Chain A
């Protein structure tokens, strides 16, 4: 190899190449063939659609904008209610309807914090200091000291490591579920869970297995079925997360979840828990910590407790609390947290103040419990009406014990009850649902809400009125059916 000077740096290397073993050269030749094959195979280009001017015009012409808001039927309940009733002032313990003060048993304001002067003062102070809006999402200039204070307060109160605030109660559970449960995971959900939790289940894209409302046997059946499945494919089971989705007090039924039984199943089948406490936070337990305190279950055993601040706390927003790593995950994966503007600071301050009032004055919880029991006792025996709900629950559903086949007919009866009760000074309302979107539409009912502010006399008086109204409407209703017959006769 005289061409290459022996002193050149590359000399050795080139020598190595020229003396390369045959197997190596064959291997390299094969690789060259592979590269050639790659480059000569037909190239696929990710699609780029290019439209000509003509096509663009056609598309623009074809486009018809949808109406910004769909047409609302004239008999929409919201419109009818607006025509019929006009509420003036704050919706507190009493509510002024059409110029008449009524005892309010319709608003979910269990501790009577709506219209509380102390809270209002604090909120106004915050308004003067921070202005109204919070400027942006929490991760994007929207975090104020009051948000952090409220998170700390909630975590401390709930005795968990950390809490996270959402700016709207509905999205709290609807974001928390999809943050953890993904495609391929399994949610064991109670059929009675509220609409927000249902939407969370849908948004998670997980497999949802519904068990009958508060039916532990059915739940265990489903878990056993799942266990058999898991044994067939243990590798897959290892990466499948399983969750219970339950509520403390079910908003749609007013009963309490059997938490101890659920904890047992949780331990036995290794499932995590999403616990929705919107109705039980600030209601159950000696200090208002919710259903865990009520049953004496350690909150550390429940992975995630989610609650809205819109009921007992009479504010806006919601929170989720648990261990540090569970909560921190949501700060990047909770859609409602990441992508919506944080609570207005004054609202956070109002919630903080409400928490403070509740903590300093736990007597109001005792009072609330007494009031709930009193209402339950009083309302028990109306003929033709079934009372749903636990005696400790401030949400009570009054259903017709003989529902008609037609849902609308029952609703009409209940609306008559509502109208009569309001005219006699007690504001009540039927429970409203999005009929076509609920997983399992509950039977029509009047949803009573009990406040700790009500005195015994007020409760007795309003219970008497409600009972009397139900009696007169139900006895009149049979007559009403007859009346229908009458009008038919009149037509003939």
Chain B
């Protein structure tokens, strides 16, 4: 949120990811959650990384691609009710810095998880399938598309 800054937008979802410090916060949250998972005694490094990746992708999928409208802000009177959070970012423009950043992070996480799981087949299948959740809905070609009418209303 633009804390301490007055914004005149009735839907702050348009610009929330452009606020100061939000990228760093995002990375920090991933890092700290990873440390937390690593500190669980019976998880090996490989499991910890795969778990981080899976949790990150699933949570971000729910936050960005399932939640629609403006759940915490009402003044827009349901203007964005048909748009997912991702589609609202930067007023729906493609290839903005925020969108590039949000697409790159899960890919890098996948690289790390692959590396630390020693390119194991089972880990690969898990990591690659949740990566699909994070990448496919972000493609510009799928903007506003609801495959098979899922989550349409």
Binding site for B on A (CB under 8 A): 12-13, 15-17, 19-21, 24, 27-28, 31, 34-35, 38-39, 41-46, 178-179, 182-185, 203-205, 235-236, 238-239, 332-333, 335
Q: Which residues of A contact B128 (CB under 8 A)?
A: 27
Q: In the assembly, what is the distance between CA of A202 and CA of B18, in Å? A: 33
What chain A residues lie within 8 Å of B81 (beta carbons)?
182-184
Q: Contact between A34 and B124 (Cβ–Cβ < 8 Å)?
A: no
Contact of B95 among A17, A19, A44 (CB under 8 A): A44
Given contacts A17-B118, A39-B100, A335-B75, 7 further A-B contacts (CB under 8 A): A16-B115, A19-B119, A24-B114, A38-B104, A43-B96, A183-B79, A205-B79
Check A13–B118 contact: CB distance below 8 A: yes
B residues less than 8 Å from A15 (CB atoms): 118
* Min distance, Cβ A158 to any Cβ of chain B, angstroms: 26
| A16 adjacent to B119 (CB under 8 Å) | yes
**What are the residues of chain A within 8 A of B91 when measuring CB–CB?**
46
Please indicate the chain A residues that have their CB under 8 angstroms from the CB of B111 in the complex. Answer: 28, 31
Q: How far is the CB of B23 from chain A (nearest CB, A)?
A: 15
Across the interface, do A183 and B97 meet the contact criterion of CB distance under 8 Å?
A: no
For the complex formed, measure the closest distance between the CB of A338 and the CB atoms of chain B, giving whole angstroms.
Answer: 10
Whether A235 and B115, one on each chain, are in contact in the complex, defined by CB atoms closer than 8 angstroms, is no
CA A335 to CA B78, docked complex, whole Å: 15
Does B107 sit at the interface, judged by CB under 8 A? yes
| Residue pair B118, A35 in contact (C-beta under 8 Å) | no
User: Which of A21, A31, A41 is close to B107, meaning CB atoms less than 8 Å apart?
Assistant: A31
Q: Which of B75, B78, B94, B103 sits near A44, CB closer than 8 Å?
A: B94
Question: In the complex, which residues of chain A have a beta carbon less than 8 angstroms from the beta carbon of B93?
Answer: 44, 46
B97 and A43 contact, CB distance less than 8 A: yes
Chain A neighbourhood of B149, CB < 8 A = 235
Question: B114 to chain A: which residues have CB within 8 Å?
Answer: 20, 24, 28
Q: Knowing A46-B15, A183-B77, A204-B77, say if A21 contacts B121 (CB, 8 Å).
A: yes
Identify the closest chain A residue to B100 (Cβ): A38
> How many residue pairs between the two chains, A and B, have CB atoms under 8 Å in the bound complex?
84
A20 to B110, CA, bound (A): 15
A408 to B116 alpha-carbon distance, docked (Å): 85
Q: How many residues of B contact A (CB 8 A)?
A: 33
Question: Could you tell me the dominant secondary structure of chain B's interface residues?
Answer: helix
List 30 A–B pairs whose Cβ atoms lie within 8 Å, in order of A's numbering.
Answer: A12-B118, A13-B116, A13-B118, A16-B115, A17-B115, A20-B119, A21-B119, A21-B121, A27-B128, A28-B111, A34-B103, A34-B135, A38-B100, A43-B95, A43-B96, A43-B97, A44-B90, A44-B93, A44-B95, A44-B96, A46-B90, A46-B91, A182-B77, A182-B78, A184-B78, A205-B79, A235-B153, A238-B153, A239-B153, A335-B75
Query: Inside 8 A of B104's CB, which chain A residues have their CB?
Result: 35, 38
Q: Which of B78, B121, B152 contacts A235 (CB 8 A)?
A: B152
Shortest Cβ distance from residue B14 to the other chain A in the assembled complex, whole angstroms: 9
Set of chain A residues within 8 Å of B79, measured between Cβ atoms:
183, 205
Whether B39 is near chain A, meaning CB under 8 Å from some CB there, is no
Contacts of B33 in A (CB 8 A): none
A34 touches B107 (CB 8 A): yes
Instruction: Find residues 98-148 in chain B having any chain A CB closer than 8 Å to their own CB.
Output: 100, 103-104, 107, 110-111, 114-116, 118-119, 121, 124, 128, 135
Kindly state whether residue B2 has any CB partner on chain A within 8 Å: no
Chain B residue nearest to A23 in the complex (CB) = B124
Instruction: Tell me whether A24 and B96 are in contact (CB under 8 A).
Output: no
Cα A38 to Cα B140 in complex, Å, equals 11
Given contacts A44-B96, A46-B96, A239-B153, contact A35 B107 (CB under 8 A): yes
